[in-house]
Structure 1
Amino acid sequence: MNHRDPRSEDVISIAPSLDVSLRAARMPRRIRALDRRVLRITLLALVLGVIASGVAWALVTLIGLITNLVFYGRFSLTFAAPVTTYLGHWVIVMPVLGGLVIGIMARWGSTAIRGHGIPEAMEQILLNESRIPPRITWLKPLSSAIAIGTGGPFGAEGPIIATGGALGSLMGQVLRVSADERKVLLAAGAAGGMAAIFSAPVSSVLLAIELLLFERRARSLIPVALAAVAATGMRYVLLGSAPVFPMPNVALVTLPALCIYVLVGCLVGFASIGVTRLTYAIEDGFEKLPVHWMWWPAIGGLAVGVIGYVMPATLGVGYTNIDAIIGGRLGLWVLFSLCLLKLASWSIALGSGTSGGTLAPLFTIGGALGGVLGICIATHWPGLGVNPGLAALIGMAAMFAGASRAFMTSVVFAFETTQQPHSLLPLLGGCAAAYLVSGLLMRRTIMTEKIERRGVRVPSEYSDDYLDRIPVGEVSTRNVSSLHASQTVGDVARWLISTDPAARYGGFPVLNDQGAPLGVLMRRTLLDPLQPADARLIDLLHGPLIVVDESHSLREAADHMVDTGADVLIVVASDQPSHMEGILTKADLLNAHERRLRQSGLDRK
């Protein structure tokens, strides 16, 4: 940081000798897409990917153990769905007991275990420099395993994403890294966890970009991508490379069928709005209960148990449900019942503040709805060539796209988990339609509603940095009035209060006899009554010369202003550093933004 003259905070410095000034001049740092620090972060991300795959396997194993103990009375690590059980009416009690344990853990462990994890990770990224409390690394997976293992209608992916993110954050807190690098490690851990659960590395990276990183830069993308690759590679070793949700081969779609699939996506987009609003309406309802929030998960567990007794398929993660839905093995009324009852069970449980994920429930609800629409259309208009299984797959992806606005994640996830290349085109159309409907009719998403209510502003659009593509020379102020080093403060002050239009600027470059820049003095410094009237301007200049090359970008120049504390930068020629081309002010930066608004049409009244 530049140290200014203690007599005035507005002096932007200089040295009296031209040669010394040019040698010591402070230029902006050139922005580079990659540097050597990326290698270190990438190595750490690879380690995180391997660890996240192990944590994912451990979490699934723990869920299987608890499920087997609670619903089947046996000690087994095999993952099992609580569909057939000897408990009878006691099935209603198990989610209540699980909710009670979650409430106790949240009250005396950490309230951060409540919810599905992704909004909480987003909040830590945006407000706390990606610092997640270390205890979340074990409290979140343990609480989620208890919730899901006792029948909670959640997926394991949300907790493992949160846990992987917490591991990355912990690594970034232990090691000496910047807040930006810690964010990358958090995203790498989260992507590794999701990739290990679903064997979907590309969509895991896209999820990190769309919901955690809020950017797409090489220094972020490479570590996160390699973490996902490492986690998926470990999954291949442990579980094989078969698709997570196998389905019958999808044939190339016809144009009429493609139009129907886009319509299905549109309808599911409307449904995603209803699902999001219902979930938070239930959460608001729990807020009004006259009991401590510690008891809410148990109350929500009662609803889960009752619905699970009526339809056991709503209990647990429901991955087998997704298999059956897109495989076309469920009839119309079963799909319809599963859609409504899973929605009721999951929304009540999530609204109660228990611990669990959102991806699998949304996929189940959307897939069942898409399957219902697909069967109805195929039955009444068989000539359109609509495949109910593909309609279910589109409904699954479109529900997540509409509810979360993670558009590309939704498309690629459905493709990666089924490995059906002909599904890509209808998936793209259906998810785009759902995204359009959701974006027009719903301000917030299921991922951002909670934290935006607490005043956290979540980025929703990721575009290139406009300032980074404009050179300084294009917008700098030319033909600006300059001062001579030998002038006195009194002479300049009299000129500044005159009617000369050239005296209107807030800062003025000071030149030597050869016309080379020595520095900048601000208007308020020159008009300061404490400054001696006979003081020469050169005596007010201190520190290194602060300049910017006309070929630098406005982003580099703006960063330079922040770094040095300068209000005005001297712009020098690229081929002749001693020649001043003009000055760059903060007003010039704002004018550049005005051009951006004009080009984008955002300045329309």
Structure 2
Amino acid sequence: MNLQKYIGRFFVWRVKNVPDNYFVIFLSIIIGLGAGLSSFLLKSFVYYIKGVLTGFFDISAQNLWYVLYPGVGIVITVVLVKYVIRDHTEHGIPRILHVISRFDGKMRRHKYFSAMLGSSFTAGFGGSIGLESPIISAGASIGSGIGQTLRMNYKNTTLLIGCGAAGAMASIFTTPVAAVIFSLEVLMLDLTTSSIIPLLIASATGAVTTKLLLAEDILIHFAVTQPFEIADLHYYIVLGVVCGLVSVYFNKMHELIRQLFIRRIKNRLVVGGLGLGILIFLLPPLYGEGYESIRLIMTGQSDQILNNTALYDYRDVWWVLILFMILIILTKIIATTLTTEAGGIGGIFAPAAVMGGLTGFTVSRLFNEIGFVNPLHEGNFTLVGMAGVLGGVLQAPLTAIFLVTEMTNGYVLIVPLMVTTAISFTTIKIFSKHSIFTKQLAESGDLLTHNKDKTVLTLLNVKRVIDTDLLTISPDSTLGDLTKLISRSKRNIFPVMADDRTYLGLVDLDDVRVDMFKPEKYSEPITNYIMQAKEHVSVNEPMDSVMEKFRKTGYYNLPVVDHGKYVGFVSRANIFNAYRKVLKDVSME
């Protein structure tokens, strides 16, 4: 008996004996464990590669290997993903959101391997990316795969994807609460009793797994050694504005370079790999995720950030360090985008966090060196800056606040975290309505939000509600031909199309009602009765656009036309029925 038969039998037994909500809770443990193990494997492999490649470097001198390593890593990634795994390069959180909105939560199974292997070589060899998105993608892939294998419905499959993402996020930082908030705030899952318990369990399982397996020097956590002082509040307000502007710069520069590669650069791998290598040679802290710089700051060793640079001998000069930090802040997103556009796999989570941490440190060090009366605690500003830029770039302020709160094992900094992140988020909202994750999805009409009406309309598509059973008539026909057609039809509209299915218009029963009872009119050409609808619908048109056309015209039916060819009609009644069904399918009680 093959595996599919066993799965089929288990499916029947499970439906009869185990309610969905209990079964999902059980699966959330497995998914959290899988996400935690994936995080452990990826992090360990990346740090091993980095140790082998850079462990012998002399910290007092520049090293030309930095020019070569990133390109080699990207080449390995491209070969693995394109020719071995045979996957395209769309990965990370935007892909997860797209799968949820357009593919019923069904991720391809090879996404797990492409995310894990591709990002490990990209980051290990110095690609300036974050490992969070690949790990989250791997966790979501585990959840989606289990949901598909066990024939779960859309609602539960989506929840399992959220469990995978939450488990992965929690495993990276050992921050289970922030991971749950991330699933609700970024993946747009509903906060209900049926969703919150599996998310909590998956997050806790993922966090415990990596806590048990990963070495302490790989885990990302920091200690707060000095409490927040209310006298420093106005400096945190200034930091919030700066973090907001850095977030705007992050988004704008990312999009600028991405468009440059799309429109102007043909050999992406060579240009991106070489450009990245030169940047890392000049500014070694751009190598990999970049969290090492934050660790050095938090342990009072900020001068070591200048290791392997031409400025090593000036590491004790405060203004040299500040200028170097500003260079890292400005070039980190450039290096990240070069990495991904050249073919590397990774995300923008770590780059945003690192840029934020360096921003907080730079602002506080600048204030301290200028000579203000009360010295600012640079470690606290570093942590708050991480949340400020992260919350701005992701447009997920709660995730950023609770992430740093849990990373520091307490709520000592909760007030400055809230103030700075809120100001940063407000600042970036002035310039950008959507985050990097959601901008392209919003432009294509594929973005799901917590607005249930918009979510249901996004999940609906025109093909699902097309009526194709209307009787059509040729433009060469007469009223007499139409009268015969009316006797066989249950509808009151008749599309007129040519032999090649070109749509010419329609005839409404109300327009011929009087003449159809006058035999002397039967010879009248049907073209005398053709009317043109004020609007028509295309096959791939977003449903919210279709509803707007119904509102503007007042029609109850609209023709569907694909490149001038007649396809069918959509009606308000069909859309309403489909709307109710989708609403029921996606609602988590």
Measured against the shorter chain, the TM-score band is 0.5 to 0.7
- Which residue in 1 is equivalent to 2:563? none
Does 1:272 pair with 2:247?
A: yes
Secondary structure at the counterpart of residue 373 of structure 2:
helix
The offset of 1:409, in angstroms, is: 0.3
Deviations 1:297-326 (A, max 9, x none): 443221221111112221012221121234
The answer to whether the aligner puts 1:458 opposite 2:443 as a matched pair is no
From the superposition, tell whether residues 372 and 58 of structure 1 become closer, same or farther in structure 2 (CA, over 3 Å): same
Q: What does 1:126-525 align with in structure 2 at a 5 Å threshold?
A: 126-239=101-214, 244-254=220-230, 256-289=231-264, 291=266, 295-330=267-302, 331-380=321-370, 382-383=372-373, 386-453=376-443, 455-461=444-450
Q: Is the 8 A contact 1:94 1:150 kept in 2?
A: yes
Q: Could you tell me which amino acid in structure 1 is paired with residue 278 of structure 2?
A: V
- How much has 1:70 moved relative to structure 2? 3.9
* Alignment RMSD: 3.2
Residue type of the partner of 1:337?
L
TM-aligned CA deviation for residue 65 of structure 1: 3.2
Look up the equivalent residue of 1:457 and give its one-letter code. Answer: D
Amino acid at match of 2:272: G
Given the superposition, is the C-alpha separation of residues 87 and 166 from structure 1 closer, same or farther in structure 2, using an over 3 Å criterion? farther
Distance 1:83 1:58, change over 3 A: farther
Q: Is the 8 A contact 1:100 1:298 kept in 2?
A: no
Q: Which moved more, 1:231-240 or 1:418-427?
A: 231-240
C-alpha contact 1:92 1:302 (8 A) present in aligned 2: yes
Q: Does 1:48 align with 2:31?
A: yes
One-letter code of the match for 1:284? Q
Cα deviation, 1:536-570, whole Å, max 9, x if unaligned, reads: xxxxxxxxxxxxxxxxxxxxxxxxxxxxxxx9xxx
Q: Structure 1 CA distance, aligned partners of 2:370 and 2:52? A: 46
The C-alpha deviation readout for 1:379-421, integer Å capped at 9, x for no partner, is 3363355322222212111111111111100000011112242
Q: State the percentage of identical aligned residues.
A: 22
Paired residue for 2:468? none
Instruction: Give 3-state SS (helix, strand or coil) of 1:131's partner.
Output: coil
CA deviation after TM superposition for structure 1 residue 173, in Å: 0.7
1:235 to partner: Cα distance:
2.4
* Deviation string, structure 1 residues 464-505 (Cα, Å, up to 9, x no partner): 99x9xxxxxxxxxxxxxxxxxxxxxxxxxxxxxxxxxxxxxx
State the alpha-carbon separation in 1 of the partners of residues 358 and 30 from structure 2. 38
CA contact (8 A) 2:190 2:450 kept: no
Equivalent-residue separation in structure 1 for 2:71 and 2:162 (angstroms): 33
Are residues 150 and 317 of structure 1, via their aligned partners in 2, closer, same or farther at CA, if it must alter by over 3 Å? same
CA gap of 1:297–1:393, structure 2 versus 1, over 3 A, is farther
Cα distance change of structure 1 residues 157 and 317 upon mapping to structure 2, 3 Å threshold? same
SS of alignment partner, residue 130 of structure 2: coil
150-159 vs 423-432, which deviates more?
A: 150-159
The answer to whether the 8 Å contact 2:136/2:166 transfers is yes
Looking at structure 2, the residues matched to 115 and 376 of structure 1 have their Cα atoms a distance apart, in angstroms, of: 40
Supply the AA of the counterpart residue of 1:49: G
Question: 3-state SS of the aligned residue for 2:338?
Answer: helix
2:102 and 2:446 in contact (8 A); partners too: no
Task: Give the whole-Å Cα distance in 2 for the aligned partners of 1:43 and 1:107.
Answer: 35
For residues 577-601 of structure 1, give each alpha carbon's deviation from its aligned partner in whole angstroms, at most 9, with x where no partner exists. xxxxxxxx99xx9xxxxxxxxxxxx
Q: Provide the secondary structure at the position in 2 that maps to 1:226.
A: helix
- AA aligned opposite 2:198: P
The Cα shift of 1:158 comes to 1.5
Contact 1:314/1:345 (CA < 8 Å) preserved in 2?
yes
Which amino acid in 2 is paired with 1:38?
N
Could you tell me which amino acid in structure 2 is paired with residue 389 of structure 1?
G
Unaligned 5+ residue runs, structure 2?
1-17, 303-320, 457-508, 515-555, 557-571, 577-589
- Say if 2:98 and 2:446, in contact at 8 Å, map to a contact too: no
Is contact 1:99-1:298 (8 Å) kept?
no
Report SS of the residue matched to 2:105: coil
Q: TM-score, normalised by structure 1?
A: 0.65
Question: Which of the two has higher C-alpha Rg?
Answer: 1
Q: 1:423 to 1:307 in 2, by over 3 A?
A: same
- Tell me the distance in 2 between the aligned counterparts of 1:152 and 1:305: 9
CA distance in 1, matches of 2:278, 2:140: 34
**C-alpha distance in 2 between matches for 1:98 and 1:418:** 33
